Amino acid sequence: MAEIIFESMNHNHIEHAAKLALAEYIEECNAVPILPEGDYSNVLCKMISELIDHKLGVVALESGNFIGFLICYQPMKNHFGTTLGAFSPIHAHGAVKENRRRIYSQLYQAASEKWVKQGILSHAIALYAHNNEAVESFFWNGFGLRCIDAIRMVAPIISNKYPAAKVHTYTGDESWTIERTIKYIKFMLDKNFRTVELFHGACVLKSNNSIIGLTGLNPYLPKKPEIEWQFGVPFWGNGYATEVGKAVINAAFETTDIELVYGMVNPQNKASMRVMEKIGMTCIGLHDFRGEQDMFYKIERT
């Protein structure tokens, strides 16, 4: 077995790196057929080139052949804590299939040595779920799983079967047009909803992986956000709001420094008021909220 040589990454390595990144993406496309396929070489070259000047990347060479690379974004302060950190996104690394686990392990050892010398002590990396060799390699190097992003097909909703107006019974809003819905989805995608006091996620039915609603926290007062959930009409009355409400509150208190969670409900929405009580929230009376009188609930960290 030839010796692997590690070098600092430079602009001469970009095309080789893009080929490896694309090869790993194609592997994931084979495992997840709904991923869009195509030749993204130029896109990957551009994205990788934007990371080169940070001088934090390394490449692996074996007998003169380019067999792997690992690079990251510019160091970030307060990265998953209070220290300086580095994050390598999904397009910022790659390795040939043969001996991939060993290559990734040695790539990380070479890169981390460079990072630590610059005071970068927190390291994170995004990997394809089906890239088992890479996943195992980083686990063996002390990494843990922080989160999972998923992609799935979405079935169309038959709007004439479930009148949209019913969804807005207690909001005073009108039924949304397709244009307004698309605009809202784009707005959501452009926002960073993973910050401590502002995160949203889809509610997915386990039995068939269909999206039935959304939930999350909205900013209200410092460290005191508002809980939210919305479900499609066919899924009302099944206890999903109670299940999701408990999960969101538990996650907020267990993983963040949030002190209190509020809930705001239209006083005529008796079902949501019952949910607030079921998930342990206490009613604190009517208060003005966005120009209307809503019934307020709260739950504090214990």
Residue 251: the pLDDT is 86
Q: What's the CATH number where 273 sits?
A: 3.40.630.30
Residue 107: the pLDDT is 97
Same-domain check for residues 190 and 262: yes
Same-domain check for residues 175 and 283: yes
Q: Residue 153 is encoded by which pair of tokens?
A: 């097909």
Residue 159: the pLDDT is 53
Residue at 148 is within a domain: no
Residue 233: the pLDDT is 83
Residue at 282 is within a domain: yes
Residue at 150 is within a domain: no
* pTM > 0.75: yes or no: no
Distance, in Å, from the CA atom of 153 to the CA atom of 204, rounded to the nearest integer, reads 12
State the alpha helices, DSSP H only, in the chain: 14-31, 41-52, 100-117, 132-140, 178-190, 240-255, 270-278
Bridge partners (DSSP) of residue 101 are none
Same-domain check for residues 111 and 193: no
Q: In degrees to the nearest 10, what's the CA dihedral of 135, 139, 145, 151?
A: 0
CB atoms within 10 A of CB 81: 9
Residue 160: the pLDDT is 55
- Chain centroid to CA 76: 18
Question: Average pLDDT per run of 10 along the chain, which is 302 residues long?
Answer: 89 97 96 89 95 94 96 89 91 96 96 95 94 95 87 63 62 74 76 59 84 86 90 88 93 86 92 94 92 92 86
If one counts the domains in the chain, the total is 2
